[in-house]
Amino acid sequence: MEKSQLKTILYHLLIGIIGIAMFYPVLWMLSSSFKVEGTIFRNAHNLIPEAFTLSNYVSGWAGFGGTHFGIFFRNSFIITLTATAGQIFTSAAVGYGFARIKFRGKAILFALVISTLLLPQQVVMIPQYIMFSFIGWINSYKPLILPRFFAMPFFIFLMYQFIQGIPKELDEAAKIDGCGVYSIFFKIILPNIKPALITTFIFQFYWTWQDFFGPLLYLQSANKYPVSLGLKLFSDPSTVTNWGGMFAMSVLSLLPVLVIFIVFQRYLVEGISTTGLKG
């Protein structure tokens, strides 16, 4: 009895120590965002501000040369929500096509989907850039949004796995009721794969919200920047350094991500565990 109690205490102590080390950087960012500019790097390790201030949030929000963070956030939401909506709908449709409909060449095409799961996007980045610049898409959201309307293999695979788990009898019952392949998709499949749709929403939201590479390549004017590029401006040599503002806006930029994580974490955990794919 004594021994098992000691074990329990040691267990939680060990996890506590690892946890503190792990969360220290995040807490440091949070506390720095409330420190008075000029005291941030004095005894930098302190997690409790000498004096508590919200002025970093005000000065950070003001942004650069008239482009404030409201604009960056609006841009991020526009890009992220459209791209995510496109991904959810198209990957569900493609997943359904592969999981439920028999057609010629299906096996080969599905093998292609699986093999391109591992294909690094960086390999096609230059030709894509050349193509998009030829059709005049540079400095627009099209290169960031439109490709997301063409179902990514990762999400096709996720949807496919999920649809496989739905009893085929449901489709067949609907068929008797006069449903065709299209209404089965809308009336039977879509309502039954909610967890997969939510998982897709979470991942695509994260990836687009945090994407830095895409916007860096394709966006040129600051008033089109998403938050990720906006944050980078804080450390550009041309701007006056405002570390407090940088920390404050960093914290704000993580809020949507954390809110989604808290609300949907159950789906996220299931999504990762069932597909075995990384997020």
Work out whether 125 is an interface residue with another protein (CB under 8 A): yes
Min dist CB 84 to another protein, Å, is 15
Work out whether 141 is an interface residue with another protein (CB under 8 A): no
Min dist CB 67 to another protein, Å, is 16
Residues 15-34 that bind another protein (CB under 8 A): 15, 18-19, 22-26, 28-29, 32
Work out whether 210 is an interface residue with another protein (CB under 8 A): yes
Of 9, 10, 65, 116, which one interacts with another protein (CB under 8 A)? 116
Work out whether 273 is an interface residue with another protein (CB under 8 A): yes
Work out whether 257 is an interface residue with another protein (CB under 8 A): yes
Cα→Cα distances 214→7, 43, 121, 146, 224, Å: 49, 37, 11, 12, 13
Residue pair 132/144 in contact (Cβ under 8 Å)? The answer is no
CA distance 246 to 260: 22
* Residue entry with tokens 């074990």: 7
Query: What is the H or E stretch that residue 214 is in?
Result: helix 213-218
Q: Residue 244: CB partners within 8 Å, gap ≥ 6?
A: 32, 33, 35, 36, 37, 40, 55, 56, 59, 60
Residues paired with residue 257 on neighbouring β-strands, in sequence order: none
User: Which of 51-59, 61-69, 175-183, 191-199 is the region at the interface with another protein (rule: CB under 8 A)?
Assistant: 175-183
Work out whether 212 is an interface residue with another protein (CB under 8 A): yes
Work out whether 109 is an interface residue with another protein (CB under 8 A): yes
Of 17, 54, 131, 259, which one interacts with another protein (CB under 8 A)? 131
Work out whether 115 is an interface residue with another protein (CB under 8 A): no
